[in-house]
């Protein structure tokens, strides 16, 4: 405060060896914030099972997985993989076909960003709210969503599914 510097300024401090025990030289220079492009950022997985499926799909058994690795995927088969968290899929922006049948998924909010999806298999999960699919602007005529054997909410069945169907999306579900 009162120094004329913004409180968000970041400085690096260089401490030089003292010339004598009583003198120390400190120089302050503004530090640049690193810029990371979208393609170069490392993806952190919240679900080890999803990570294992993706590692196999991109043929990368070890090492960091970058967003650019996920952008290359157009199809992913993660059926029967005991997946519960699909957050990392939001970086798979070029997926057109996604198989997630028979997992432990309840939150599908990250599917909102996958606007290239044409076929989506979500049967046999714990999904009740499908509003993220309705909010996905890419789902339209000719696309198909499989939602059988999920505990879909009344709102999902009576409101969201009819709205998706009115956009030309085929939705298969069980009540």
Q: What is the pLDDT of residue 30?
A: 42
d(CA 114, CA 137): 9
d(CA 171, CA 168): 9
Q: What is the pLDDT of residue 140?
A: 98
3-state secondary structure 128-158: CCCHHHHHCCCCCCCCEEECCCCCCCHHHHH
Domain locations in the chain as residue ranges: 38-172
Q: What is the pLDDT of residue 10?
A: 37
pTM of this structure: 0.77
d(CA 133, CA 129): 9
pLDDT tens digits, 26-49: 333 444 433 334 447 999 999 999
Q: What is the pLDDT of residue 38?
A: 47
Q: What is the pLDDT of residue 95?
A: 98
Kindly give the parts of the chain with pLDDT less than 70. Answer: 1-39
Q: What is the pLDDT of residue 158?
A: 98
Q: What is the pLDDT of residue 21?
A: 33
For domain 38-172, the CATH class is alpha beta
């Amino acid at each position: 405060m009162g120094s004329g510097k913004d409180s968000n300024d970041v400085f690096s401090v260089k401490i030089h060896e003292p010339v004598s025990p009583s003198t120390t030289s400190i120089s302050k220079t503004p530090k640049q914030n690193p810029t990371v492009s979208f393609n170069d950022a490392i993806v952190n997985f919240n679900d080890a099972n999803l990570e294992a499926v993706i590692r196999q799909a991109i043929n990368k058994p070890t090492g960091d997985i970058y967003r650019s690795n996920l952008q290359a995927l157009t199809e992913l088969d993660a059926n029967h993989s005991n997946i519960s968290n699909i957050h990392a899929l939001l970086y798979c922006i070029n997926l057109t076909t996604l198989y997630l049948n028979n997992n432990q998924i309840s939150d599908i909010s990250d599917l909102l960003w996958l606007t290239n999806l044409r076929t989506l298999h979500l049967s046999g999960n714990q999904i009740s709210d499908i509003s993220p699919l309705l909010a996905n602007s890419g789902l339209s005529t000719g696309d198909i969503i499989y939602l059988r054997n999920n505990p879909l909410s009344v709102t999902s069945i009576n409101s969201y599914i009819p709205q998706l169907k009115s956009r030309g999306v085929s939705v298969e579900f069980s009540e």
